[in-house]
Structure 1
């Protein structure tokens, strides 16, 4: 099996959900399940954030001109519906169903066409960054997948390959993807250390560091978070964890 991880960074005005998340930097959306056939897609998503953020996210899903996962830049005539399964002060759970037309395109449908049946999807959406992790057999054509995806995305988003690796059974659940840190994340982390971002007090803030690297603030924040998450996972995987916490002294 192979694991393929990449991100789409949407430009303003290209994706209603991305625009909403950009207005609420602390909000997140992750997929709980995502299934696709040749003509249909259905998924359940879990969003977290402030009450105002969740209200805006719900509105974005329910009132968008066309389905948020569709890569078409205009209404493609698809049939879609979204239902709210749960909405509290800090949690929003949404079920979405989509029947595509020949004019529709999406990451899962392109993946299925080039990577074969049985592909598994996991997504994370924060600010303008939409991160996809795809588990596939390794028998498909990854190059053709990215070529078609790049054409479908057009000028609305930039693609960033984060990692591709073999998957294996790990001794810890959730850490089966063993791969090196993506170059863009490694560069962001190196610059952060070099310029004192992790010092106490910080020598630079994220805005100053982003300006120095000539990248958008949201892009740098995203890369640092992914790098930190990777390093934390590597630490937990390699360091023994005691079965019982020591008694306080």
Structure 2
């Protein structure tokens, strides 16, 4: 089995969910499951945020002229329905069913065309930054998949490859450093430290740092958050191991 991780950075107006999330930067959406056939797609999305943010996300899913995850930017004639499965003050769970037409497509359908059946998907949507993790058999044509995806995305999003690896590999991929971070996150973290982002008070804000690095603000924010999340979990796991009492026989 092979793992394929990439990100799409949407332009404003190209993805209604991304626009709603951009207005609520502390909110995120992740997919719990994702399945596609040549004609249909089903998925469950789990959103966390404030009540106002969840209202905006719910509206984006329920009132769009096209499926919120379609790569089209207008009404493509597809039949789609969305239902709220659960809603609390800080959590929204949505189920969507989309029946495509010849003029619309999506990441899962492009993957189905070029990577075959049985592809598993995990997604994380923060702001206009949309990260996809695909697990596939390794027998498909990854180059053709990316070529078709790039053509479908057009000028609406910037694509970025983050990782491709054998899921059973026992060694760290070439794009990860000693810290276990992908090189893009490692570089973002180093730049943040060097330019005083973590000083108190801060010597630079995330917008200024993003401009200096010539990357979108949302991309830099995403990279720093993921790097911080990884290092925090790594630290806690290390502390727990060190604090374990010795085993007795």
Q: Do the structures match in fold with TM over 0.5?
A: yes
Matched, 1:109 2:109: yes
Matched, 1:131 2:125: no
Q: TM-score, normalization: structure 1?
A: 0.89
Q: Provide the C-alpha distance between the structure 2 equivalents of 1:80 and 1:30, rounded to a whole number of angstroms.
A: 19
After superposition, what is the alpha-carbon deviation per residue over 1:215-239, rounded to whole angstroms, capped at 9, x for unaligned? 2222211121122234445556777
Q: Which runs of 5+ in 1 are unaligned?
A: 171-175
Contact persistence 1:184–1:223 (CA under 8 A): yes
* Matching of residues 39-78 of structure 1 within 5 Å: 39-78=39-78
State the partner residue of 2:224: 224
Q: Provide the C-alpha distance between the structure 2 equivalents of 1:204 and 1:239, rounded to a whole number of angstroms.
A: 31
Alpha-carbon shift at residue 242 of structure 1 (Å): 5.4
The count of corresponding residues between Structure 1 and Structure 2 is: 240
Name the CA shift for 1:139/1:236 in 2 (closer, same or farther; >3 Å).
farther
Q: Provide the C-alpha distance between the structure 1 equivalents of 2:116 and 2:236, rounded to a whole number of angstroms.
A: 33
Contact persistence 1:3–1:177 (CA under 8 A): no
Name the CA shift for 1:144/1:236 in 2 (closer, same or farther; >3 Å).
farther
Q: Provide the C-alpha distance between the structure 2 equivalents of 1:238 and 1:140, rounded to a whole number of angstroms.
A: 38
Contact persistence 1:166–1:177 (CA under 8 A): no
* Matching of residues 58-207 of structure 1 within 5 Å: 58-168=58-168, 180=176, 181-207=181-207
Q: TM-score, normalization: structure 2?
A: 0.89
Q: Provide the C-alpha distance between the structure 2 equivalents of 1:116 and 1:215, rounded to a whole number of angstroms.
A: 33
Q: What is the root-mean-square deviation in Å for CA atoms of aligned residues? A: 2.3
State the partner residue of 1:173: none
After superposition, what is the alpha-carbon deviation per residue over 1:118-159, rounded to whole angstroms, capped at 9, x for unaligned? 110000001001110000111111111000000000000001
